[in-house]
Structure 1
Amino acid sequence: MGLLSTVLVKSYVEFWGRKWNIQDISAVVVLLALHCLCLFAPFHFNWGAFWVAMALYLLTGLGVTLSYHRNLAHRSFTLPKWLEYSFAYCGVLSLQGSPIEWVCTHRYHHQFTDTGKDPHSPIKGLWHSQMGWIFDSSYRFGQCGGLKNVEDLKKQLFYRFLRHTNLLHSVLLGGLLYAAGGFSFLVWGMGVRTVLVLHNTFLVNSVGHMWGKKPWNTGDMSRNN
């Protein structure tokens, strides 16, 4: 058996042959449903649905980049609590997990960048760094010590509440979209919009660590592209 075949078989066994928990199965179901919704997009297009999707894309994208990433994970700046919580709630609607889990994963990513403990490094393959890591919560939170690096968020009732009700908020949003504009709003506002935000984020983990210029010797695989 060649090297490539060995790697592929090993990756297949590691992914499918491991123990799956309810969180992993839920992630598969949700992401599969979102991608399936996108298949209806060409047949249910209207400008109202499109602009709703774009508005939600902007809001939830800011929730991830401004709140989850810069404000909560890196503490690059501070905000009044009402504004911090508002942006964090927008992040919840991106379906990338609760603030506690997202920040935990990202902090471990920077602590162990492109090593065996990095939750989503391409050293385990393109599929793993793009999406595969999402379906293995035991790997994400078990390799490095669980949620020990987010005590600042765990102390706050709001973030604990979002962790336990994370999926519910997107379900409610989907219901509101359907009530407001029917199936087209659901397809574009939940399906297309969410998938775009998800993959824009995931590409940083995969492509951003595999292709592009590397002007600085950072000691990891991160690149400019």
Structure 2
Amino acid sequence: MTIATSTKPTLNWVNIAFFAVLHIGALLALIPGTFNWRAVGVAFFLYWVTGGLGITLGFHRLVTHRSFQTPKWLEYFLAFCGTLACQGGPFEWIGMHRIHHLHSDQDLDPHDSNKGFWWSHLGWMIHHAPAQDELSRYIKDISDDPVYQFYQKNMIGIQVALGVLLLLLGGWPFVIWGIFVRVVVVYHCTWLVNSATHKFGYRSHESGDNSTNCWWVALLVFGEGWHNNHHAFQYSARHGLRWWEFDLTWLTIRLLQTLGLATNVKLAPVPVKQ
């Protein structure tokens, strides 16, 4: 069966409204009285917890690619942190990313970079993605897990619970910075992996797509910017293959390995490039 690609995609108004509310909420940080350094510190800490431990380490390298293994309790904790990033539940994030790798920069890639920077950064999420209808095929390893089912069904509720906790701890500045500002910053930094690292940077390997290694994205998202390396060796727990390609998430995996919490660590079958 041939899938038509010429039909104009329909807008996803639920996502549009959701993103609009979060971005408007982040703008509240500009109002006098909503800023304090404790709130900024909470935002930075949660940026690391949700973007670094949750999305990069948990959703991406651990669950999506199974580049290493951890005890189940730790996997669930990291997936919980990823759910707090509010980038869709684990089924959506992991399923879409697996589809992306299968069809990278082709018509069936949800965020095909050939459609432009804006499309791969955000546009694909504010339209109905045909790949959404195929998710069940790509998440069979987690779809029956009750913990992942709970995260998928309660993403908003989990975020609201965090918001209530922050309100009790530090008032509205904690909520504005720890929820709205943090979520929006994690969004755009994570989305740069779909957009900037398919446009800017250099290529070390022939990966069959437009993926690049982009140092400044790597710094923002804990090593994910070494994207051409990743697309060449998708299962590798280490993305920064040259000595100067700093990969904080790989260092975290090494720490877990030293503590006996990361096993079966998979690496690219090539010498680290100097």
Q: Return the structure number with greater relative CO, CA threshold 8 A, min gap 6.
A: 1
Give the alignment partner of residue 154 of structure 1, picking from 128, 134, 143: 143
Query: 2:72 matched to 1:53?
Result: no
Give the alignment partner of residue 114 of structure 1, picking from 83, 105, 124: 105
| Amino acid in the other structure paired with 1:40 | L
Q: d(CA) in 1 for partners of 2:206 and 2:78?
A: 34
User: Structure 1 segments of 4 or more deviating over 6 A?
Assistant: none
Q: d(CA) in 2 for partners of 1:26 and 1:193?
A: 21
| Amino acid in the other structure paired with 2:47 | Y
CA positional deviation for 1:136: 3.0
Residue of structure 2 in register with 1:65 after alignment: 56
Q: d(CA) in 2 for partners of 1:140 and 1:181?
A: 41
CA positional deviation for 1:55: 1.2
Question: Is the CA contact (8 Å cut-off) linking 2:110 and 2:129 kept in structure 1?
Answer: no
Question: Is the CA contact (8 Å cut-off) linking 1:133 and 1:140 kept in structure 2?
Answer: no
CA positional deviation for 1:209: 0.3
| Amino acid in the other structure paired with 1:176 | L
- Relative to its length, the structure with more helix (as a share) is 1
Residue of structure 1 in register with 2:195 after alignment: 206
Length-normalised TM-score, structure 2: 0.71
Question: Is the CA contact (8 Å cut-off) linking 2:92 and 2:135 kept in structure 1?
Answer: no
Length-normalised TM-score, structure 1: 0.85
Give the alignment partner of residue 175 of structure 2, picking from 183, 186, 208: 186
Residue of structure 2 in register with 1:34 after alignment: 22
Q: d(CA) in 1 for partners of 2:164 and 2:125?
A: 25
CA positional deviation for 1:137: 4.3
Q: d(CA) in 2 for partners of 1:179 and 1:121?
A: 42
Q: d(CA) in 2 for partners of 1:221 and 1:146?
A: 24
For each residue in 1:135-176, what CA deviation from the matched residue of structure 2 results, as whole angstroms up to 9, or x when unmatched? 23442313xx33211100112111112111122111221222
Question: Is the CA contact (8 Å cut-off) linking 1:96 and 1:198 kept in structure 2?
Answer: yes
For each residue in 1:44-77, what CA deviation from the matched residue of structure 2 results, as whole angstroms up to 9, or x when unmatched? 2101111111111111011000000000000011
Unpaired runs of at least 5, structure 1: 1-10
For each residue in 1:75-119, what CA deviation from the matched residue of structure 2 results, as whole angstroms up to 9, or x when unmatched? 011111111101100100101111111110000111000000001
Question: Is the CA contact (8 Å cut-off) linking 2:201 and 2:213 kept in structure 1?
Answer: yes
1:16-35 matched pairs, under 5 angstroms: 18=10, 20=11, 24-35=12-23
Answer with 105-114 or 163-172: which moved more.
163-172
Give the alignment partner of residue 128 of structure 1, picking from 116, 119, 122: 119
What CA RMSD, in Å, does the superposition of the two structures yield over aligned residues? 1.8
Percent identity over the alignment is 40
Residue of structure 2 in register with 1:6 after alignment: none
Residue of structure 1 in register with 2:261 after alignment: none
